[in-house]
Structure 1
């Protein structure tokens, strides 16, 4: 990543307004969530990673994870501002979140319909016969 961007896992640095805007308008998943829902998810996150433009301080990327803190983590809400895509921000956020974080040895899961190539770089693959999923009831 160029020196133009700085990453942080400090939850106090997150721009909740930016995250709300991105997840409620730009992300295809979970648009049913309210602002209150997003705040609850941020407050309960095991780990968050933000990417920030060094010139302006503006948040340009976000990822969060939930975990049991011992063996399992779920990656969620990975998003990069459209104007900043193509600068390896997603790759760097996942590096900090997964491989350089306290869950490096955990079993990680995620759900996505795009960016498979990005996630495959971090060992994500289609589930094996040991995985089952119960769909949401909304």
Structure 2
């Protein structure tokens, strides 16, 4: 199967992104559809992977940045039926190395796929990094 990748925000299929992030992602399931829409709309860059024959979106990555020296990678996924075709690597290649942030400092938080991210220069933080965890979210009810 052939795939196309690009960083055109107008091509992102929000229903596909929402469906995966709200059910499959082990991170951030507390977000509402409106939250995800806001994150996509405010992203510095988004990259999508699409089936060449149907145009169906099968992968996604989002980044926020100051546009000069720092970028944060988030919400990277490839639909399970399309894994094993190198799409994760291609998403990161387009997002990081082939994009306008190739020389920036990139960060991400992830509990998996460390081997993939290491191929793009990610490493565990050293003593120069500090993180403030999110505050507990209040649920309505």
Please state which band the TM-score falls in when normalised by the shorter chain: over 0.9
List runs of 5+ in structure 2 lacking aligned partners: 137-141
1:41 corresponds to 2:32: no
| Matching residue of 1:10 | 8
Determine the structure 2 residue equivalent to 1:94.
92
Out of 38, 48, 69, the residue aligned to residue 50 of structure 1 is: 48
| Unaligned ranges ≥5, structure 1 | none
For the pair 1:134 / 2:139, whether they are aligned, the reply is: no
Q: Deviation digits for residues 30-78 of structure 1, max 9, x if unmatched?
A: 0000000000000100000000001111000000000000000000000
Answering whether residue 73 of structure 2 is matched by residue 114 of structure 1, we say: no
Q: Which 4+ residue blocks in structure 1 deviate beyond 6 angstroms?
A: none
Equivalent-residue separation in structure 1 for 2:10 and 2:60 (angstroms): 13
Give the TM-score normalised by structure 2: 0.95
Instruction: Tell me the number of residue pairs that the alignment of Structure 1 and Structure 2 aligns.
Output: 136
Let me know the Cα RMSD of the aligned residues.
Answer: 0.7
Report the TM-score when normalising by structure 1.
0.97
d(CA) in 1 for partners of 2:84 and 2:23? 20
